[in-house]
Structure 1
Amino acid sequence: MSQDKIDIKDVTPKTFNPKTHKTNGDRFNPSNRIYVRESKGVFQKMRRYGGWFLLLLFALIPWIPYGERQAILLDIGNQQFNFFGTTLYPQDLTLLATLFVIAAFGLFFITTFLGRIWCGYLCPQTVWTFIYIWFEEKLEGSANKRRKQDSGKLTANLALRKTAKHIAWFSIALATGFTFAGYFIPIKSLIVDFFTFNASFWPVFWVLFFAICTYGNAGWMRSIMCIHMCPYARFQSAMFDKDTFIVGYDTKRGENRGPRSRKADHKALGLGDCIDCNLCVQVCPTGIDIRDGLQYECINCGACIDACDQTMDRMGYDKGLISYTTEHRLSGHHTNIMRPKLLGYGAVLLIMIGLFFVQIASVDPAGMSVLRDRNQLFRTNNSGEIENTYTLKVINKTQQKQQYQLDVTGLEDVSWYGKQTIQVAPGEVLNLPMSLGVNPDNLDTSISTIQFILSDSDDFTLSVESRFIKKL
């Protein structure tokens, strides 16, 4: 088992020095700002298109209508969680727990197989950060230009462009706050009430809270979130092994590194393929040097791969000096993909997905609970019957008005005092007080087990157990 562990590398914390284009200082100091250089290539195109797709999906889902409401609305106030034609209630929240378990094991599986691919391509922090960087580049210029401007005096033109950038940033943040809150509050009324000053305190609080968090995280904190605050970077090492696909630098091929002309025979000069251009450092959103080896700050975004491949192409060298690879492959060994840990995560993931669909299929379109009257367990009515009083709570989980029929089993010649046919509106919880009366001669025991039956015209039947008391 010890041979599967990744060797610990002594990596001195570093940060990029704009004057020397070398690395020094404390990379973990939040005051050391990272100017991310634009990177283009196959992996950045995948990340960009994937990020825009997920962002549009996030933004559009609250606007999808279904009948007279949103298709997806997590209405915490009314304790209803609507997913198109299905409405879930607190008693159905085992589904949510199962979904969280699926997400956890899905993350374990992906991390063991492909490293921090979630961080590089799918994490909201990464998606929003790159969107903010895009606005920064369009309004303030390239990374080198921004670095030079920030080290000089603030001119009127620069102040205007920075103001426009922050307006764009906060506009995105505010739209994010509305969208996130719109999953829990009807988004159309939320926006109207917000801008007409008719919204109550809590909707306004949550919109502004998520807006400020988005603005701060993606605009200012960026890699600080990934390095200092995100717990995923800390426990990922428990899932990594030497067969995990990571962004890796081929040391045997790249060293000794150093500058040279394109026409020079670098092998004769004793140099490897790395020309020490530092582009892999300049495009890294967390400011690391991938040539120092595997580091927990690496989010597997592939920006350094694209930058290095373009350099190799210009120099006439083979691409792949930096690539998605494994520690075993870098050391010249065979990569074992189908290993026990990965298969174990995959098996548990498939089991939980199957259990989730079984739970979905078993969700009843209606629910019922039975509460006995605790003030008076039983009484004798004017007809000489033993009478017990109950309150039935009937929940209509569908999106249509339903008619239900109520009945009881377990008693002979029972008298039902109350409604047996009821109409329940969509999402309504109907409280129905009623009583059962039974001739004492038909009761063999002091406490009888009974079943209340709820049925509809679609052959749906629900049974809830209760007790009928003759005497104590």
Structure 2
Amino acid sequence: MSDRIPVKDISPVQVHRPDKSKHNDHYTPRNRIYVRAVKGALENFRRFFGLVFLSLFAILPWLQYEGSQAILLDIGAQRFQIFGLTLWPQDLTLLAWIFIVAAFALFFVTTFAGRVWCGFMCPQTTWTFIYIWFEEKIEGSRNKRIKLDERKMDTDKFVRKTLKHVAWVSVALLTSLTFVGYFTPIDALFIDFFTFSSSFWATVCVLFFAVCTYGNAAYMREIMCTHICPYARFQSAMFDKDTFTVAYDAQRGEQRGPRPRKATREQNAAKGLGDCIDCNLCVQVCPTGIDIRNGLQYECINCGACVDACNGVMDKMNYPKGLISFTSETQLAGGQTKIFRPKLIGYAVVLVLMSALLVFELLSRVPLEVDIIRDRNALYRETNDGLIENVYTLKILNKSQHTQHFDISVNGLEGHRFIGDDSVTVMGGEVFNLPISIAIDPYQLEEPVTEFSFTIRSQEDEDAIIKQPSKFLYR
């Protein structure tokens, strides 16, 4: 057995810095990033995808279900109402299952396709691109925005800057009102807020989230992705050589450099030039300001903007597309990407298992909660008839959204006398306290402690039935 540790020779990555004499320094992460507009298949898909989820975010709190807001996460009442499902603090395990399923879904997607969550679904990215869209429409293209910021304040610059910030604040306020509308009735929230009659905490929450949205999408932008978001830090633990990520084909692109458009690829190859013409469009369209040609970087959010930009340049040069593409390290090295691999299969199996358990929890959930509290003043008492009596309080929680009638019965206590209401009406979401007493002849009690059970059954829902154990005490 050798005592030596095997050493793997890893060649250092050659970082190509743009020539500052040919390109300005506005795109570097050390300065403000002026994102250039880009067109392409991935950009169209990202916009469509973002529009769908943005529409869902804006529409869902306005939906009505059986006369009430379909989705209402009422923290004050400790009740989450999701269409026909009502979750209570007692249902915390369901929320835990939901978070577990979401986590493994994220792990599975990241292992397969890298940080596509960040590039196509993350709210930070979506709202950043919305703000950039307003910026382009009001202040102009990338070069026009650079020149506008460089010149001194005049009437035109003041008007454009004012319109831009008014649009940004409006988007932030609508976003905040919609978000807070998930936690309080949204129709009343909009009316009360714009008539200055909303409650103190509702106003504070709306203003707080509006400031957060404005600050994140207008100023923080890539800083959230590169310095604050923890996802960028631990994503490398889920990557492998077969993970699809945005990557630059260095073997095909190097040596990079400008060349006449009329020159053929063969003529350029004879001069030692690859397909990359060093136009830096891939850098200018990147929302985090990185150069994808420097290799895999944690700042890359896999939005695919550089792919569309590079493909557009390749079309103009009559070169094949794919110099920058969604590919794997294995494929770049000339191998074949393995889709079905143990790591990905493991995540898929766990995801399916967790999802099945979540569905099972939802289907087996009983929309009824019962808590039995014994009288703490006396273990038992003797009535005038010589019977032994125990006093209980039944706390019945109707976890559904409808009024239900419940029947109460006692099992396992022969010869008992039930004192109190054996049928009650409980409103949807109400906790009903029912005091009752159970009396029995002491000659029928063989032990000091007799175990029995209460059965609470709904007249409307046959699945809403609970058998709750309790004890009858004597001596």
Normalised-by-shorter TM-score class: over 0.9
Distance 2:382 2:14 in 1: 84
2:466 is aligned with 1:462 = yes
Q: Which one of 279, 282, 286 corresponds to residue 280 of structure 1?
A: 282
Aligned-pair CA distance for 1:434: 1.2
Distance 2:10 2:230 in 1: 22
302-311 or 448-457, larger mean C-alpha shift? 448-457
1:425 corresponding residue in structure 2: 427
Distance 2:255 2:99 in 1: 47
1:318 corresponding residue in structure 2: 320
CA contact (8 A) 2:61 2:72 kept: yes
CA contact (8 A) 2:27 2:33 kept: no
CA contact (8 A) 2:27 2:284 kept: no
Distance 1:398 1:176 in 2: 30
Distance 1:390 1:209 in 2: 47
Task: Name the aligned partner's letter for residue 71 of structure 2.
Answer: I
CA contact (8 A) 2:394 2:434 kept: yes
Task: Name the aligned partner's letter for residue 438 of structure 1.
Answer: I
Aligned-pair CA distance for 1:103: 0.7
CA contact (8 A) 1:405 1:455 kept: yes
Task: Name the aligned partner's letter for residue 144 of structure 1.
Answer: N
Task: Name the aligned partner's letter for residue 471 of structure 2.
Answer: R
What is the TM-score of this pair, normalised by structure 1?
Answer: 0.95
Identity of aligned residues (%): 55
Aligned-pair CA distance for 1:386: 1.1
2:119 is aligned with 1:115 = no
Task: Name the aligned partner's letter for residue 191 of structure 2.
Answer: V
Distance 1:70 1:347 in 2: 36
Aligned-pair CA distance for 1:15: 9.1
CA contact (8 A) 1:14 1:23 kept: no
Aligned-pair CA distance for 1:342: 0.8
What is the TM-score of this pair, normalised by structure 2?
Answer: 0.94
Distance 1:353 1:309 in 2: 39
Q: Secondary structure at the match of 1:93?
A: helix
Task: Name the aligned partner's letter for residue 331 of structure 1.
Answer: A
Task: Name the aligned partner's letter for residue 392 of structure 1.
Answer: L
Distance 1:79 1:426 in 2: 14
Q: Secondary structure at the match of 1:45?
A: helix
Distance 1:253 1:353 in 2: 43
CA contact (8 A) 2:416 2:440 kept: yes
Distance 1:194 1:236 in 2: 41
Aligned-pair CA distance for 1:8: 8.6
Aligned-pair CA distance for 1:200: 2.1
Distance 1:213 1:57 in 2: 21
Change (3 A) 1:50 1:253: same
Structure 1 residues without counterparts, runs of 5 or longer: none
Residues 365-380 of structure 1: pairs in structure 2 closer than 5 A = 365-380=367-382
Distance 2:366 2:16 in 1: 56
Distance 2:222 2:90 in 1: 40
CA contact (8 A) 2:16 2:294 kept: no
Q: Secondary structure at the match of 1:430?
A: strand
Aligned-pair CA distance for 1:459: 2.8
Q: Which one of 269, 286, 292 corresponds to residue 294 of structure 2?
A: 292
Change (3 A) 1:398 1:242: same
CA contact (8 A) 2:391 2:438 kept: yes
Moved over 4 A (4+): 5-17, 22-26
2:239 corresponding residue in structure 1: 240
Residues 14-413 of structure 1: pairs in structure 2 closer than 5 A = 20-21=22-23, 27=29, 29=30, 32-264=31-263, 265-413=267-415
Distance 1:57 1:312 in 2: 36
CA contact (8 A) 1:120 1:301 kept: yes
Change (3 A) 1:374 1:424: same
Distance 1:387 1:80 in 2: 37
Q: Secondary structure at the match of 1:147?
A: helix
CA contact (8 A) 1:120 1:299 kept: yes
Task: Name the aligned partner's letter for residue 465 of structure 1.
Answer: P
Q: Secondary structure at the match of 1:436?
A: strand
CA contact (8 A) 2:27 2:289 kept: no
Q: Show CA shifts across 1:410-433 (max 9, x none).
A: 211111111111011111111111
Aligned-pair CA distance for 1:397: 1.9
Distance 1:203 1:234 in 2: 35
Aligned-pair CA distance for 1:240: 0.7
Distance 2:194 2:16 in 1: 47
Distance 2:402 2:343 in 1: 47
373-382 or 190-199, larger mean C-alpha shift? 190-199
Change (3 A) 1:447 1:11: farther
2:447 is aligned with 1:445 = yes
Q: Secondary structure at the match of 1:358?
A: helix
Change (3 A) 1:7 1:351: farther
Q: Secondary structure at the match of 1:298?
A: coil
Aligned-pair CA distance for 1:9: 5.5
Distance 2:103 2:246 in 1: 23
Task: Name the aligned partner's letter for residue 249 of structure 1.
Answer: Y
Distance 1:319 1:361 in 2: 49
Q: Show CA shifts across 1:373-397 (max 9, x none).
A: 1121211122211111111111112
CA contact (8 A) 2:27 2:283 kept: no
Aligned-pair CA distance for 1:199: 2.1
CA contact (8 A) 2:370 2:395 kept: yes
Distance 1:128 1:368 in 2: 45
Change (3 A) 1:97 1:14: farther
Task: Name the aligned partner's letter for residue 357 of structure 2.
Answer: L
Change (3 A) 1:373 1:251: same
Q: Show CA shifts across 1:345-383 (max 9, x none).
A: 111100000000000001112221111111212111222
Distance 2:19 2:427 in 1: 64
Q: Secondary structure at the match of 2:347?
A: helix
CA contact (8 A) 1:15 1:25 kept: no
Q: Show CA shifts across 1:149-170 (max 9, x none).
A: 1011121111111111111111
Alignment RMSD: 2.1
Aligned-pair CA distance for 1:10: 4.9
Change (3 A) 1:311 1:430: same
